[in-house]
């Protein structure tokens, strides 16, 4: 049984499909991956090379396919679709698992034209209640493609409920992201955590009295780092340092804003960060204020390491920021509210109470997510 995983950019394979590939190999699938490994998305060159090495070690067949950024162009999308069709036919692919918005569209079109079954993991539907009207332009596309989708996989409750009632895939299932280590979160001793934290903060040049805010995500408009910078510009608190892990098109704009507002010594753009746990332990809170977010894996992982989360309401984050013991949910564009909540977290020294909410959070654990995905893939074995 041969499966083709389609994702527009290789970072989607790195960040969201490592467990899927391992499960497929365990089940006996021959795994193929079609993605853009040249313009590889929000990771660095070394991470791309490590990904290719791991895929080769696992005997995964890699296909370089060029995808345009965003929604692409008619000619570019047609060319990409024909390339996917060629791969499906040449390598006699039995099943297609599509990821990412444009990858999901073109991958499912190609599989339908080849009369193959397809799965689609939606990492957050673009259209949602109270969302921008222009985002609803994606609804007719998703509605039409749902008739040609055998299994829709949704990663938050809002999208799952919507898919069940408004879309028409043969099967609709929900998983809670790619799976995280909820069962063992916070199990290390206070002494070990303090040593790790002191070491991590020292490496970042932080003083004992400094307050470190972190964000993880591509430097783009949707991740909304600029709103945090605006709040910090109003606060003018010399103890606050803001660390952003990620790469992207707004790098220079964020640097320029920090310079113009006297924040250059307090804003730290770290690029692609491999060891996020070190950053988590150095931090005092996590600002995850995306405008649109399917789940918010970066926030969830940070929360499990004890960081209080300032998250976005009306996103998938509502699934894991269950109460004020774990974080605040706010309008991500409300700079005044961002400023107020940062100061509240700082003054109250709030930490995420993962231990007190572990039972409710276990649905995000690796074991539970793997159980669901294993059942999904096993359904198609001949």
Q: What is the CATH number of the domain that holds 251?
A: 3.40.50.2000
Residue 158 has which token pair?
């809002």
Task: Report the pLDDT value the prediction gives residue 189, as an integer from 0 to 100.
Answer: 64
Instruction: Quote the domain boundaries for residue 348.
Output: 190-363
Based on the fold, state whether residues 105 and 245 are members of the same structural domain. no
Q: Are 281 and 200 in contact (CB under 8 A)?
A: yes
Phi–psi pair at 313, nearest 5 degrees: -70, 160
In a domain, 185, yes or no: no
Based on the fold, state whether residues 64 and 213 are members of the same structural domain. no
Dihedral (Cα; 329, 221, 210, 341), 10-degree rounding: -20
In a domain, 156, yes or no: yes
Task: Report the pLDDT value the prediction gives residue 125, as an integer from 0 to 100.
Answer: 83
The 8-class DSSP code of residue 155 comes to S
Based on the fold, state whether residues 63 and 168 are members of the same structural domain. yes
- Per-10-residue mean pLDDT, the chain, length 382: 97 94 98 97 92 98 92 90 98 96 95 98 77 73 95 95 94 94 80 87 96 96 97 97 96 98 97 92 97 92 96 95 98 98 98 96 96 97 80
Alpha helices in the chain (DSSP H): 10-16, 18-27, 45-57, 74-90, 101-113, 139-146, 157-166, 190-203, 225-235, 251-260, 276-282, 297-304, 335-348, 358-361, 366-378
| Residue 30 CB partners (closer than 8 Å, separation 6+) | 1, 2, 3, 61
Based on the fold, state whether residues 198 and 313 are members of the same structural domain. yes
Longest dimension (CA), the chain: 63
Based on the fold, state whether residues 125 and 256 are members of the same structural domain. no
Residue 252 CB neighbours (<10 A): 10
Based on the fold, state whether residues 113 and 195 are members of the same structural domain. no
Task: Report the pLDDT value the prediction gives residue 236, as an integer from 0 to 100.
Answer: 94
Based on the fold, state whether residues 35 and 126 are members of the same structural domain. yes
Based on the fold, state whether residues 210 and 230 are members of the same structural domain. yes
The 8-class DSSP code of residue 39 comes to S
In a domain, 89, yes or no: yes
Based on the fold, state whether residues 142 and 251 are members of the same structural domain. no
Based on the fold, state whether residues 165 and 203 are members of the same structural domain. no
Based on the fold, state whether residues 115 and 195 are members of the same structural domain. no
Residue 31 has which token pair?
């795994």
3-class secondary-structure state, position 237: coil
Count the domains in the chain: 2
Based on the fold, state whether residues 168 and 36 are members of the same structural domain. yes
For tokens 């590939």, name the residue: 21
Task: Report the pLDDT value the prediction gives residue 70, as an integer from 0 to 100.
Answer: 77
In a domain, 184, yes or no: no
pTM of model > 0.85: yes
Give the HSE-up count for residue 220: Cα atoms under 13 Å, Cβ half-sphere.
12
Task: Report the pLDDT value the prediction gives residue 139, as an integer from 0 to 100.
Answer: 85
Residue 324 has which token pair?
């004020």
Closest CA to 345 of 224, 237, 186, 184: 237
Task: Report the pLDDT value the prediction gives residue 200, as an integer from 0 to 100.
Answer: 94
d(CA 197, CA 307): 12
d(CA 321, CA 285): 14
């Amino acid at each position: 049984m041969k499966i083709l995983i389609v994702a527009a950019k290789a970072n989607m394979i790195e960040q969201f499909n490592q467990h899927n590939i391992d499960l497929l190999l365990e089940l006996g699938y021959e795994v193929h991956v079609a993605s853009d490994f040249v313009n590889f998305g929000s990771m660095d060159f070394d991470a791309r090379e490590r990904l290719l090495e791991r895929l080769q070690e696992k005997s995964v067949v890699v296909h370089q396919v060029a995808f345009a950024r965003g929604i692409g162009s008619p000619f570019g999308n047609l060319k990409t679709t024909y390339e996917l069709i060629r791969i499906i036919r040449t390598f006699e692919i039995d099943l297609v698992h599509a990821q990412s918005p444009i990858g999901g569209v073109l991958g499912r079109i190609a599989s339908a034209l080849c009369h193959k079954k397809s799965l689609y993991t939606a990492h957050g539907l673009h259209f949602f209640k109270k969302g921008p009207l222009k985002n609803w332009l994606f609804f007719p596309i998703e509605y039409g493609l749902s008739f040609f989708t055998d299994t829709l996989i949704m990663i938050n409750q809002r999208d799952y409920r919507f898919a069940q009632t408004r879309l028409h895939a043969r099967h609709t299932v929900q998983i809670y992201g790619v799976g995280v280590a909820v069962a063992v979160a916070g199990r290390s001793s206070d002494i070990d955590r303090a040593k790790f934290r002191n070491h991590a903060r020292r490496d970042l040049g932080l003083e004992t009295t400094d307050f470190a805010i972190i964000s993880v995500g591509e430097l783009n408009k949707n991740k909304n780092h600029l709103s945090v910078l605006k709040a910090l510009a109003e606060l003018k608190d010399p103890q606050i340092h803001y660390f952003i892990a990620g790469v992207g098109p707004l790098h220079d704009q964020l640097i320029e804003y920090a310079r113009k507002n006297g924040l250059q010594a307090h804003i730290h753009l770290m690029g692609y960060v491999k060891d996020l746990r070190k950053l988590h332990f150095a931090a005092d809170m996590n600002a995850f204020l995306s405008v649109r977010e399917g789940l918010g894996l970066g926030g969830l992982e940070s929360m499990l390491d004890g960081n209080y989360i300032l998250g976005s309401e009306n996103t998938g984050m509502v699934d894991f920021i269950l109460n004020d013991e774990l974080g605040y949910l706010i309008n991500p564009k409300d700079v005044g509210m961002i400023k107020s909540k940062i100061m509240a977290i700082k003054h109250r020294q709030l930490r995420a109470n993962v231990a007190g909410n572990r039972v409710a959070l276990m649905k995000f654990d690796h074991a539970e997510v793997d159980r669901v995905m294993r059942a999904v893939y096993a359904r198609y074995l001949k």
